[in-house]
Amino acid sequence: MDLTSRYDLCHALIHEAGALAQGYFNDLASLTIKSKGLQDMVSEADLNTELLIKERIFEAFPQDAFLGEETGVTAFAPGQGIWVVDPIDGTQPFISGMGNWCVSIAFVCEGVIQFGMVYAPVRGEFFAGGKGYPATLNGQPVKRHPGKSLREGITGMGYSTRLKPEAFLRPFEGLLREGGMFFRDGSGALNLSYVAAGRLLGYFEPHINSWDCLGAIAVIEAAGLRVNDFLANYGLTKGNPVIAGVPEVYDDLLRLSKL
């Protein structure tokens, strides 16, 4: 498995995809937008950006599999590498004219996230990391958050309408009662990247899909921070909770997630 060539492709490709998506973002008035469900939107920008990524990957590595939010999963055999892609994570902010959206790409093989990248074009921020690759923000090493308790920083929290509100509200109340403070801006991949970059103490979401988080999880792991085993129990195709943070607060976040 030539990870170096795949990493290099991902580096170039995520920037190409980000430029395409930003072109649509700069002309929102002409964008075709549809609803996939409650608070779940999609536009031609999402689909066309994913198709670009998929085409470039299969041109270079036709032997690999692909899982994308918009086009689904290709045939996937044990031992085969698979690319996991969200062409625009944060579609609601995207179509609302806000810059808190990103492109997320991860590569998984043998049940291990080998590397991942998250690119937020409007904010000019590019996060990358993986097995044997350092965790970086715009090419510079990231620094962990200095906080050692939930009271000493901000915790990102996410919610999906796939679950009942109680799955979010109980941990949310627990965080506030312990003196913590919350942050949410509509992109799980970006919020998790902010954990890796030392901006957030941690992040919790009761259910998230793999394409929304694997790119950032790779960076978190490369930064030496803690994250749950997201790929356990069919997490790749069915999603899972995600809990991530600096080592000193991870156990507290895990406890709150079970409220």
195-218 pLDDT, tens digit each: 999 999 999 999 999 999 999 999
pLDDT in tens, 89-118: 999 999 999 999 999 999 999 999 999 999
Residue-level pLDDT at 39: 58
User: Are 212 and 193 within 8 A, CB to CB?
Assistant: no
Question: What is the extent of the structural domain holding 77?
Answer: 3-141
Task: State the DSSP H helix or E strand holding residue 107, giving kind and residue range, or none if neither.
Answer: strand 102-109
Residue 80's pLDDT band (cuts 50, 70, 90): very high
Sign of CA dihedral 233, 239, 245, 248: negative
Is the pLDDT at 68 greater than 90? The verdict is yes
Instruction: Indicate the residue among 112, 141, 170 that finishes a domain.
Output: 141
Q: Are residues 175 and 137 in the same domain?
A: no
Instruction: Indicate the residue among 141, 166, 183 that finishes a domain.
Output: 141
Residue-level pLDDT at 1: 79
Strands 202-208, 240-245: pairing kind: antiparallel
Strands 72-73, 125-130: pairing kind: unpaired
CATH of residue 240's domain is 3.40.190.80
Q: Are residues 11 and 134 in the same domain?
A: yes
pLDDT in tens, 111-164: 999 999 999 999 999 999 999 999 999 999 999 999 999 999 999 999 988 899
Residue 40's pLDDT band (cuts 50, 70, 90): low
Number of domains the chain contains: 2
User: Are 174 and 256 within 8 A, CB to CB?
Assistant: yes
Is the pLDDT at 42 greater than 80? The verdict is no
Residue-level pLDDT at 43: 86
**CA–CA separation, 235 and 208 (whole Å):** 9
Q: Are residues 187 and 86 in the same domain?
A: no
Q: Are residues 185 and 71 in the same domain?
A: no
User: Are 159 and 84 within 8 A, CB to CB?
Assistant: no
